[in-house]
Amino acid sequence: MTIDLDAFLSTGARGMRRSLIRELLKLTSRSGIISFAGGFPDPATFPVVELQEVTRDVLADQAHRALQYGITEGDPRLRDELVRWLGRDGIAVTRDQILVTNGSQQGLDILGKVFLDPGDVIIVELPSYLAALQVFRTYGAEMLGVPQDDEGMQTDRLADLLADLAAQGRRAKFIYVVPDFQNPSGVTWTEERRRHLLDLARRHNTLVVEDNPYRSVRFAGTAPPPVYALDRDGRTIYLSTFSKTLCPGLRIGWMVAAEEIIAQFVTAKQGMDLCSPSFTQAIAAELLHRDLLAPRLPGIAEVYRRKCDTMLRALQREMPAGVTWTRPEGGLFLWVRLPESMDTEALLREAVEREGVAYVIGTGFHADGGGRHAMRLNFSFPSEEEIEEGIRRLARLVKRHLPLSTPSTATRTQVSD
């Protein structure tokens, strides 16, 4: 290329960093590599037969509607089904409080477009979802992080941060949280932390963004209520998706909020794509209408419970003292911490090229540049045999680089420091 592309790019685009995960996925497509790096669901969970049947019927009975442009808000029939779907989790809303999006990822971009000016402060967890950080960075947000432990964000530290901001005459636009089986850590917030978050948000008059793609993939323990369901004053915006329960290929996600907020989101989405695909929305609506999704959830959770257990047992068996990890009750990921002096980025090339195993480095998930000694492991996509072998390879790498003296009493609770 002969042009100087940089001279043409917007400030936001110049600040964009290529997705670490996508870069890695390219590296790991070579045969023989066991990848714990992606975030793909297990394709065995896709309802292929049900989708064949429903797609055929949608084309036979609703083609005039399903192949036409739709309204930006989303297929009214799908939104009515989503009202019922959300009711299962104690989220009581009307159709007009829902906007259908192209996956919940589009919802994150809409948030940036609607709420963020360059220099605006937002608060995120340490660690937090990499692709959300990328979006918010593109809109020029200043991201301040609050560490997690095994009960969720440390909300007493959030209280300190909000007080510091207030003392400087500043306010966070929103607090972004993934409270159920977080990507990347697998941690679930306790109900107490959820209530404390809302209490602080109310006191400091900020919004809460609850990104919740994994909630229906619970394989152990009991579910605390969604933050949205605990919120009494309409300051929470809820995002979810069918990517992990139905399939990501349909690209069906949704945002839930007060009607005035949704109206603002609709205007932002109009400029992006006019509407989400009518066809996939009609298929999802029909699938829900025939109640073909909910009965599948226990089976999907069981697949991931087995895979997660296999990974936990392999870690226990293979990893040396000084390595710790989280124990998720659902979702697709767990979080491994090596001794502090180790650097997962420095080890990655050797992991892939010598051992044939891949992971995502911890720094990608840290708004403050931390997480050098941490890594995210995905257990949903590899087979159980690959999980066993992959952890064996990873442990071999770690042992080769282990510092001579490592504490054997390291705690397993702290996710980030």
Residues that bind ligand PLP (CB under 6 A): 39, 103-105, 129, 178, 183, 211, 213, 241, 243, 248, 253
C-alpha distances (whole Å) from 160 to each of 149, 156, 163, 167, 168 are 16, 7, 5, 10, 13
* Shortest Å distance, C-beta 210 to ligand PLP: 10
Report the nearest approach of ligand PLP to the CB of residue 261 (Å).
Answer: 19
Least Å from the CB of residue 306 to ligand PLP:
21
CB nearer ligand PLP, residue 37 or residue 395: 37
For ligand PLP, the closer CB: 75 or 355: 75
The residue among 93 and 178 lying less far from ligand PLP, judged by its C-beta, is: 178
Q: Euclidean distance between the first and final Cα of the chain, in Å?
A: 44
Least distance from ligand PLP to the Cβ atom of residue 94, Å: 22
Nearer to ligand PLP, 106 or 344 (CB): 106
Strands (E), 22-149: 34-35, 98-102, 121-126, 142-149
By beta-carbon proximity to ligand PLP, the closer residue of 124 and 314 is 124
| CA contacts within 13 A on the Cβ side of 205 | 4
State how far the Cα of 57 lies from the Cα of 48, in Å rounded to an integer: 14
Whether 19 and 364 have beta carbons less than 8 Å apart is answered as no
Distance of closest approach, residue 129 Cβ to ligand PLP, in angstroms:
4
| Choice between 28 and 241, CB closer to ligand PLP | 241
Within 10 A of 205 (CB to CB), how many other CB atoms are there? 11
Can you tell me the distance from the alpha carbon of 66 to that of 26, in angstroms, rounded to the nearest whole number? Answer: 35
Residues 6+ apart with CB under 8 A from 26: none
Q: Is 285 helix (H, G, I), strand (E, B) or coil?
A: helix
- If the CB atoms of residues 62 and 236 are measured against ligand PLP, the closer one turns out to be 236
Contact (Cβ atoms closer than 8 angstroms) between residue 333 and residue 374: no
CB 247, min distance to ligand PLP, A: 10
Shortest Å distance, C-beta 39 to ligand PLP: 4
* Shortest Cβ 244–ligand PLP spacing (Å): 7
**Residue 34 CB-density burial (10 A; 0-12 exposed, 13-18 middle, 19+ buried):** buried
When the beta carbons of 241 and 416 are compared against ligand PLP, the nearer one is 241
Q: Residue 12: which H helix or E strand, with range?
A: helix 11-15
Nearest approach in angstroms of CB 209 to ligand PLP is 10
Cβ-Cβ contacts under 8 Å for 13 (sequence gap 6 or more): 138
Query: What one-character DSSP code corresponds to residue 319?
Result: P
Task: Enter the DSSP assignment of 83.
Answer: H
* Nearest partner of 99 among 265, 329, 220, 322, judged by Cα: 265
Identify which of residues 70 and 213 has a Cβ nearer to ligand PLP in the complex: 213
CA distance 408 to 417: 18
